[in-house]
Amino acid sequence: MPSPFPGMDPYLEHPALWPDVHHELISAIREQLNQVVRPRYIARVEERLYLASDYDPTDPFQRVPDVTVGLSRPDAAATTAAIAIAEPLVVRQAEPTREARVEVRDARTHEVVTVIEVLSHANKTPGSAGRRSFLEKRDEVLASPAHWVEIDLLRAGAGHRLRQRYPHHTYLVYSSPTDLRPDGKAWRIRLQDPLPVVGVPLREPDPDAPLDLGRALVLAYDRAAYDATVDYAAEPTPPLPPDLAAWADGLLREKKLR
């Protein structure tokens, strides 16, 4: 069963579900681009690695490392007298975290032409290692000859400054072609609307490659069978504002999901 929403499905934003959605979207975007950019270009999935060493118990999007507690021998008294062990400090190890992105590369030279990031919760958590890693990568690309495309389909967290300028638009896609810098292009997206077809910049004289985000989400939703996971009778996480909650309630009731 497809998603009941015409565009982005707010139920997919749940922090426990989004990592899987992110993975499926990245795969669908790569597949779609490879259908339109060859033979001059190829789309590949690359990873960025960072260490989430700054554990913050107030951060709901950060996974807590496991702590293993060993059991003492049951017959310790039979071999030696009990010796008190001083209370140790539990030290949390830095966790290596991998985040995938799509890169469009020159098929002959393998030079990076365009970097496409689909934002995660960690990318949007202020002060987190994931946020710092994302901003460092963005600054690196913006200072290079490569184009930059940023896809933000999450309502929670710190987003692009354009999100504050257009509060009535729920989601945002931002593109920074090298020839337009410091200016860029933006697609503002409302929850009630279909996801747009956006342009992925390539090298001149080639036109932008069309990327149908709606088609990518439909493919991701179907492949991962999210209809078997999502409880549309409950409220999404994070909750919708009152006006959008009323609209979503009517939509879900119309589709017999409430």
Q: What is the pLDDT of residues 125-144, one digit of tens each?
A: 998 888 999 999 999 999 99
Please, which pLDDT band fits residue 94 given cuts at 50, 70 and 90?
low
Tokens 């009778």, residue located: 233
Model confidence at 121: pLDDT above 90: yes
Q: Where are the domains of the chain?
A: 10-56+94-254
Best CATH choice for the domain 10-56+94-254 from the list 3.90.1570, 3.10.20, 1.10.3470, 3.90.320: 3.90.1570
Model confidence at 64: pLDDT above 50: no
Provide the whole-model pTM: 0.83
Rounded Cα distance between 36 and 206, Å, is 12
Please, which pLDDT band fits residue 93 given cuts at 50, 70 and 90?
low
Mean pLDDT in residue range 57-86: 50
Strand partners, 51: 96
Q: For residue 245, what pLDDT is reported? A: 98
Model confidence at 74: pLDDT above 50: no
Mean pLDDT in residue range 194-209: 98
Q: Calculate the average pLDDT of the chain.
A: 88
